[in-house]
A and B are shown apart, each in its own frame.
Chain A
């Protein structure tokens, strides 16, 4: 018979990708996963919402993000579980006594031996400890090393390096004309005036598209896509807004 490979409870990979879009977890115990990412499972698995209950001590140990509590569940039991996310590329990563920060909507699941914390950067989550986690990306992930400046929309996460800072093109910030240009968009903008800058040692994870995965309502959602906690004041490519006006006044010396 031609056609795709047929998997059963035994041949389904154990903690590995089924294909580029799906990941199979060999569950014996507990895993955290984001709501709605389970596609199918064999065996006896229960799903518990995060809140008061008998999983209290587990959650106290490895879940530290009340903002995201309503989006996560604990899968408990024994069996094989297939995870997938809107047909995006899915990859698993191993952390060994490390830390990794990832966009909150991209994280699918993680082992309870890791501990999940809210990153200082809004919209991102940090995993600390040792264990395996699964994250999705729009297109394959590319690993790069700092120092590097990356497009906000292409950033998936980073490991072991200090949190990024904003970087703006100097040319673009300078002078009255630059301000007018930024404010009105007249004269053309390249759309690449703003980057995230990484320094130090570590790894930065990029996805191969600037199209963000449709953000799920996970905690505090950034006002502009790709930029955490964005307001008009720090968005050069977005015309209008009182923050921009303030910036213009500053340029005129008012």
Chain B
């Protein structure tokens, strides 16, 4: 559960994630992820729909979603890429948008697009079990199971890596045939659990 202290400022949060609050709060639904008409259309087109509300007021507001773990990420001008379903709450100073991720997104069963959060402030992301933060450096690239990936920051290049060979097709696959390979400099957030993915059983 996440507690947010507010003194007249606002946060953007997943619609319906508020579980309790004290003080004075107003909740306002922001159509189309709070990014205006263009954002709304983009999100509808890309399947990264995000039901967002703006919470404003004085006091403490508590957010939670299906007893998932919540991880706070501080941003200082950099960009955080996160799956829309894993984004719980952001400072209203942070801009959200939609980015193309290519084949990687498709393998996660989460569509070809992902949500980006940019600016200075804090964002709260959800994970099934405590998230593990792994640093990627040019010397140490990282491979991540598509189902366990939740978010990343920094200047990272993603490759889709597949170990499919003829044995996959005769039912002797390794179950780890698909990975996302991260190269560059940055942090990757991984959850200790796997979503169902297209490549999961291969």
Chain A residues near B (Cβ < 8 Å): 1-9, 12, 18-22, 34-36, 38-43, 45-51, 53, 70-71, 73, 75, 82, 84-87, 90
Residues from chain B with a CB closer than 8 A to the CB of A34 are 175
> Chain B CB within 10 Å — which of A9, A19, A39, A71 has the most?
A39
Contact between chains at B188 and A87 (CB < 8 Å): no
Q: Which residue of B lies closest to A22 (CB)?
A: B192
Interface residues on B, range: 35 or more
Contact between chains at B134 and A40 (CB < 8 Å): yes
Candidates B130, B147, B173, B176; contact of A19 at CB < 8 Å: B130
Cβ of B31 within 8 Å of any chain A Cβ, yes or no, is no
Cβ of B132 within 8 Å of any chain A Cβ, yes or no, is yes
A90 vs B175: C-alpha distance when bound (angstroms) = 20
Q: Which residue of B lies closest to A72 (CB)?
A: B175
Contact between chains at B132 and A38 (CB < 8 Å): no
Candidates B133, B137, B144; contact of A39 at CB < 8 Å: B144
Contact between chains at B144 and A40 (CB < 8 Å): yes
A43 vs B140: C-alpha distance when bound (angstroms) = 7
A48 vs B163: C-alpha distance when bound (angstroms) = 9
Cβ of B156 within 8 Å of any chain A Cβ, yes or no, is no
Q: Which residue of B lies closest to A51 (CB)?
A: B172
- Flag the segment in B14-22, B43-51, B70-78, B88-96 that touches A: B70-78
A22 vs B190: C-alpha distance when bound (angstroms) = 10
Contact between chains at A84 and B193 (CB < 8 Å): yes
Residues from chain A with a CB closer than 8 A to the CB of B74 are 1-3
Q: How far is the CB of B7 from chain A (nearest CB, A)?
A: 19
Residues from chain B with a CB closer than 8 A to the CB of A7 are 132-135
A75 vs B176: C-alpha distance when bound (angstroms) = 10
